[in-house]
Amino acid sequence: MEEDKDSNVNSFRKWSLAMAESVDAWRLFPRALVGLYGVMVAMLANWFLHLETFNKTQCASDVLNTLLSKGIPLDKAQQVACTVVEVVGGPTTAQTAFVTAVIGLSTAIFAFYVNTGKDWSKVLTPWNFGKTKAEVSAAKILVETKLPTKAEDPKPPIG
């Protein structure tokens, strides 16, 4: 009975370690967070680009009346007699700073995502590959063996 319990615990341990390693290898959470951050940046940029502005105009009433009395259409008369005094709305300084900070932070978040994670070239685990400890240490030796790089390869003579 005790052996069955140990084998169940061992099999559960192997399964949970394999699942943890798979989730770590697939990098599900970092990818999801980077993806959600990208969606947030896109929504923020869309909001920022669609902030409405309104033009406050002031019309010279005597010029407008004169043009209308001569039979000029209202829209044409307003183009001549009215001027923009102030632009109201649009992004404020605080909104611009907020958008700049959030979008600027995206480079740091992406760099953090790219530069983190496990170095899988040097780690082999027996629960994931079903190998014995001797096979794993032999595999580690093979992985850690330095292979010549292109810079170390002797160049053939020219000519």
Residue-level pLDDT at 22: 81
Residue 74: both structure tokens together? 């209202």
* Tens-binned pLDDT, residue by residue, of the chain (159 aa): 556 666 777 888 888 888 888 887 788 888 899 999 999 999 999 999 999 988 899 999 999 899 999 999 999 999 999 999 998 888 999 999 999 999 999 989 888 888 877 666 655 555 545 555 566 566 556 555 555 555 555 555 565
Contact criterion met (CB below 8 Å) for 18 and 127? yes
Could you tell me the residue ranges of all domains in the chain? 52-89
Exposed, middle or buried: residue 77 (CB in 10 Å: 0-12, 13-18, 19+)? buried
What six digits make up the tokens of 154?
């002797």
How many Å apart are CA 151 and CA 77, to the nearest integer?
77
Largest CA distance in the chain: 107
Rounded to whole angstroms, how far apart are CA atoms 11 and 87?
70
pLDDT number for residue 113 = 85
Query: Which pLDDT score, from 0 to 100, does residue 103 have?
Result: 93
What DSSP element (H or E) covers 157? none
The letter for the amino acid at 90 is G
> CB of 125 within 8 A of CB of 143?
no
CB of 109 within 8 A of CB of 34?
yes
Predicted pLDDT at 26: 84
